[in-house]
A = this chain, B = another copy of it.
């Protein structure tokens, strides 16, 4: 029963609930409250009538992004809004945001449906929660998580929907047990949906979060998936199966990440570690601004810039042709952690 499946208020409530639960856990870990900044965009509002970025960070999959270009493609006259929850200069987090957004459009252009031309012209809604957290302690890794859904609606035909999401970890100083815990938690979140799912989404993550201009991974990876709209067994519809899979990913984030912060947050560090962290954060900026489809499409299509760029680190350094000393802990990140490998 797709109509029941697609009660979007139920989806919206789940996303806003997830955002609230994650922020509660992060506030407890930090000891300081997150700011709340709600925003709306009236139908037809926004720069040049293009949509806000429904997916403030990685993995936004809209329109021309499918083709890998960064050309902004109007998705009808979109409206919508969101709730940004953010922290800066916290005790544990130097900068971070957990964003919910829900945007709608009245006409899906052909470019938005390259692999589903039959959907052109439909009304659409996109919803998601996306977060990036940059701890201050260089021994604490940066983390990203995103869960989202996209629905193409029709007056007389059944709606077409798909889910996407994932989470990935970006350490500055690598720890095998941290990467293992993060991946093990990702695997446990996906195993109920098939033993083949984690390996597939782990590989997809390695391929997506890769800086081609550096021939370097962003971090130790995690899981990534998109265009999920199939499956369903044991009395579950495909929608139920995909929705539950996405929920399992979102619900697993705090269990995957918070234990690593607790393990590393009190590790002493000095200027050397902070300097390496600032240098490596430059790679995060390069990925998000050069390669990430969601970020670029958002910025180039009238998205809410301050929400989109909550993914950028607070302090970043660039220097020419720098390489870590042989045998240093900094070099180990490049030799032992960034090259994609199996962690579980």
CA distance A299 to B249 in the complex (A): 32
CB-based nearest B residue for A87: B320
Chain B residues whose C-beta falls within 8 Å of the C-beta of A2 in the assembled complex = none
Closest CB of chain B to A278's CB: distance in Å? 8
Q: Least Cβ distance of A39 to chain B in Å? A: 10
Cβ–Cβ contact B321 & A37, under 8 A:
yes
How far apart are A31's CB and chain B's nearest CB, in angstroms? Answer: 19
Q: For the complex, is A212 an interface residue (Cβ under 8 Å from B)?
A: yes
Tell me the minimal C-beta distance from A303 to chain B in angstroms.
Answer: 7
Output the least CB separation between A283 and chain B (Å): 11
- Known contacts A213-B299, A213-B303; 4 further A-B pairs (Cβ under 8 A): A67-B71, A69-B70, A285-B285, A312-B318
What string of 1s and 0s marks CB contacts (under 8 Å) between A300-325 and chain B? 10010110111011111111110000
Q: In the complex, what residues of B have CB within 8 A of residue A214's CB?
A: 305
- Does A95 sit within 8 A of B, measured CB to CB? yes
Residues of B within 8 A of A310 (CB): 320
| Tally of chain A residues near chain B (CB < 8 A) | 41
A63 lies within 8 A of chain B by Cβ = no
**A290 is an interface residue with CB less than 8 A from chain B:** yes
Asked if A68 lies at the interface with its beta carbon under 8 angstroms from chain B, I say yes
Judge if A289 is at the interface, Cβ distance under 8 Å: yes
Chief secondary structure at chain A's binding surface? mixed
**A86 adjacent to chain B (CB < 8 Å):** yes
A40 smallest CB distance to B (angstroms): 16
Shortest beta-carbon distance, A16 to chain B, in Å?
Answer: 20
User: For the complex, what is the distance from the CA of A290 to the CA of B88, rounded to whole Å?
Assistant: 24
Query: A-B pairs with the 4 shortest C-beta distances?
Result: A289-B289, A213-B299, A69-B69, A312-B318
Identify the closest chain B residue to A298 (Cβ). B213
What are some 15 contacts across the A-B interface (CB < 8 A)? A47-B213, A67-B71, A68-B71, A69-B69, A95-B319, A212-B300, A213-B303, A214-B305, A285-B289, A285-B316, A289-B289, A290-B299, A290-B300, A306-B320, A315-B317
- Which residue in B37, B305, B315, B320 is a CB contact (below 8 Å) of A316? B315
Q: A240: CB under 8 A from chain B?
A: no
Question: What mask results when residues 269 to 298 of chain A are scored 1 for a CB within 8 Å of chain B, else 0?
Answer: 000000000100010011001100000100
